[in-house]
Amino acid sequence: MTEKNVIGKCPVCGGDVMESPLGFCCNGTTKEGRRCQFVIHRKMHGVEMTEEICRQLLSEGRTGIMEMKNKKNQPFLAMFIIEDGKVHLDFVSHYMEGRCPICGGRVKKTSKGYACENHVGPNPTCDFYMMGIICNRKITDEEVERFLSGERLTLDGFSTNDGHMFSSTLQLNEKGSVSLESKITKCPVCGGEIHVGMKAYNCSNYKDKDHPCNFSIWRNISGHEVTVEEARQICEDGQTKEVLELFKEDGTIYYKRLGLNKENQVIRI
């Protein structure tokens, strides 16, 4: 064997690892006098194990992060590591940009949702967890990031098991997990609860037989998507805090606040 054939030292017995028909194998023997069985196969999890990759694995004990394929040919990110004398996978954790709203830890994406890094492991110290699917609706990474930034989102597409569609918002509950909450503030007309609807923010007393309340704030006004916070400001303060970008029918842009008139109707101010 020439030095050129050797790509590294065996992590099991210290022998030389060289290229063979099977891949890259050790030519050494164990303390018991048996042939060492350490091998790096030519193709692992969809990755062609080149000499360069194997040299790094043997010298550093791990490779860089790379895209691999599972048995269903689906891609995933991981790295190869040597552990207990064998080549294993070390899966890469996908962390969100935003921080845990409870403890400030990093939030990682899991197979079933999103969890604070301090929520997992043998000694969890944080309760924060968000399911990836809530009421038959997938929560996207972008929506999670916006939630972690402190924004209260109005989300559509939720459904009950019998197929009833509804809209709601995400809210951190007392147990540290994220649940749905449709109530956002009190009605300025009757004091009822303002709920998120599919087209508007509506008063909960609209079905009251004795004193029905028709107060509502359309979720789209002049091309502007009214946020939960803006709806809350209209109800509690009488108008939005900021001037909003609105659109006329011909596409002309203009700027107004949204607020209430004396009849508690939503107008442009």
pLDDT in tens, 128-168: 999 999 999 999 999 999 999 999 999 999 999 999 999 99
Q: Are 141 and 96 a contacting pair, CB within 8 Å?
A: yes
- 41-63, pLDDT tens digit by residue? 999 999 999 999 999 999 999 99
Q: Are strands 47-48 and 66-69 parallel, antiparallel or unpaired?
A: unpaired
pLDDT recorded at residue 1: 41
Would you state the pLDDT for residue 4? 52
At residue 3, does pLDDT exceed 90?
no
What is this structure's pTM? 0.66
Cβ atoms of 180 and 134 within 8 Å: the answer is yes
Token output for 155: 């989300």
Q: What is the pLDDT of residue 22?
A: 82
Q: State mean pLDDT over 168-194.
A: 96
Q: Is 70 exceeded by the pLDDT of residue 201?
A: yes
Question: pLDDT confidence of 32, banded at 50, 70, 90?
Answer: confident
Confidence check: pLDDT of 114 > 70: yes
Segment 27-54 shows an average pLDDT of 92
The residues spanned by each domain of the chain are 6-90, 94-181, 183-268
Question: 134-143, 191-200, 204-213: lowest mean pLDDT where?
Answer: 204-213
| Residue 2, pLDDT score | 44
Quickly state the pLDDT bin for 65 (edges 50, 70, 90): confident
CA distance 256 to 17: 73
Give the Å distances, CA to CA, from 92 to 57, 118, 119, 149, 225: 16, 17, 17, 24, 37
